[in-house]
């Protein structure tokens, strides 16, 4: 039932049906005189004393309000930003929603098989060799050996990673992939460098980094300070996605492809190989939109696969289990 206010017109005096309970003191306050408003009783829920805290929409105002700081102000500041995994963090990224196919295959099938193939049983009471100290000491056969420092290992200035017994905690796995492309034609036309950066970004899903030359090389027409190369580094799901695309799509379509050389590697678990422009054009990200990239500007690239293995043997065994072929004598 609508409420009619005395002393007003029919159009201005019609209020909503709920005006009697809540909206009468607010909606019709301008329609009453000062004496009428003072005599009109307020509802119990709208009586606010001066000492009580203010109420907004029937709720108390929060006493403690925390806002994540915009900038990191140091470890001793009382307000610390939340971790990147917290939903209220500015760096929070809601991904990934699921593991890559090759990544899921590694943790479910490949990792147990690699542990079984490379496991070395140590009988009870056997003390393995201590590789923590591998520097050579002076035997003291000459008086010139006194007060001299220890010598580095033979053949290298720095020792290689010490071998560790295989356990479930140190099974070799893929840690990252680095793609590098040297564009010599960028010295004459910067469009070649832009095309190479677009190709690497499309293949990896990560923005490419531009590198400038540091010296002048007359034989290669290289001048210092000129941008001549692009690099893209990926890890995590992007690395497994690139490896899956490489093994399942690109390598089977390369004609007369022998595989990766068995002598490849830096003796610390990193395997290197490369592709020409024709093989780079076989990636699905490039082939599906080949008209976007000029054929003569598609570059070749070098691929470095980083693993957690401490030697090339375990790293090659990991890549072979993922489907990468090797040829020649294995070093």
Q: What digits encode the pLDDT tens for the residues 193-246? A: 999 999 999 999 999 999 998 888 887 777 888 889 999 999 999 999 999 999
- Is residue 78 over pLDDT 50? yes
* Cα–Cα dist 6/264, whole Å: 97
Please, are residues 275 and 303 in contact by the beta-carbon 8 Å criterion? yes
Mean pLDDT (the chain) is: 79
Residue 179: helix, strand or coil by DSSP?
A: strand
Closest C-alpha among 193, 281, 192 to residue 230: 193
* pLDDT tier for residue 46 given thresholds of 50, 70 and 90: very low
Q: Give, for 260, the enclosing helix (H) or strand (E).
A: strand 260-261
* pLDDT tier for residue 38 given thresholds of 50, 70 and 90: low
Question: Checking DSSP bridges between strand 227-234 and strand 209-212, what pairing results, if any?
Answer: antiparallel
Q: What digits encode the pLDDT tens for the residues 88-100? A: 787 888 877 777 8
Q: What digits encode the pLDDT tens for the residues 246-288? A: 999 999 999 888 999 999 998 889 999 999 999 999 999 998 8
* pLDDT tier for residue 309 given thresholds of 50, 70 and 90: very high
Which residues, in sequence order, are CB contacts of 65 under 8 Å at separation 6+?
Answer: none
* Cα–Cα dist 272/307, whole Å: 11
Peptide bond into 300 cis (omega under 30): no
Can you tell me the mean pLDDT for 295-301?
Answer: 89
* Cα–Cα dist 222/205, whole Å: 30
* pLDDT tier for residue 52 given thresholds of 50, 70 and 90: very low
- For the chain, percent of residues with pLDDT exceeding 90: 37
pTM score = 0.66
Neighbours of 126 (CB within 10 A): 7
* Cα–Cα dist 131/217, whole Å: 43
């Amino acid at each position: 039932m609508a409420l009619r206010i005395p002393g007003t017109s029919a159009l201005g005096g019609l209020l909503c049906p709920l005006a009697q309970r809540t909206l009468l003191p607010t909606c019709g306050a301008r329609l009453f005189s000062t004496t009428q408003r003072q005599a009109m009783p307020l509802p119990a829920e709208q009586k606010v004393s001066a000492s009580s805290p203010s109420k907004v929409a029937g709720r108390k105002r929060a006493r403690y309000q925390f806002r994540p700081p915009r900038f990191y102000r140091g470890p001793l500041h009382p307000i610390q930003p939340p971790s990147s995994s917290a939903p209220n963090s500015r760096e929070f990224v809601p991904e990934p929603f699921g593991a890559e196919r090759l990544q899921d295959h590694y943790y479910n099938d490949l990792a147990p098989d690699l542990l079984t193939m490379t496991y070395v049983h140590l009988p009870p009471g056997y003390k393995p060799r201590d590789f923590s100290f591998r520097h050579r000491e002076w035997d003291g056969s000459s008086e010139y050996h006194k007060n001299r420092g220890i010598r580095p290992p033979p053949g290298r200035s720095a020792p290689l990673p010490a071998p560790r017994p295989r356990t479930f905690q140190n099974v070799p796995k893929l840690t990252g992939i680095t793609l590098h492309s040297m564009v010599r034609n960028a010295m004459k036309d910067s469009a070649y460098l832009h095309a190479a950066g677009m190709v690497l970004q499309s293949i990896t899903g990560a923005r490419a980094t531009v590198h400038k030359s540091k010296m002048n090389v007359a034989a290669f027409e290289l001048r210092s300070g000129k941008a001549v190369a692009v690099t893209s580094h990926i890890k995590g799901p992007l690395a497994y996605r690139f490896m899956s695309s490489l093994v399942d799509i690109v390598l089977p379509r390369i004609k007369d492809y022998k595989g990766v050389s068995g002598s490849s590697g830096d003796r610390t678990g990193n395997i290197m190989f490369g592709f020409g422009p024709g093989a780079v054009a076989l990636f699905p990200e490039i082939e599906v939109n080949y008209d976007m990239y000029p054929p003569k500007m598609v570059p070749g690239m070098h691929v470095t696969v980083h693993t957690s293995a401490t030697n090339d043997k375990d790293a090659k065994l990991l890549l072979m289990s993922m489907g990468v072929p090797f040829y020649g004598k294995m070093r």
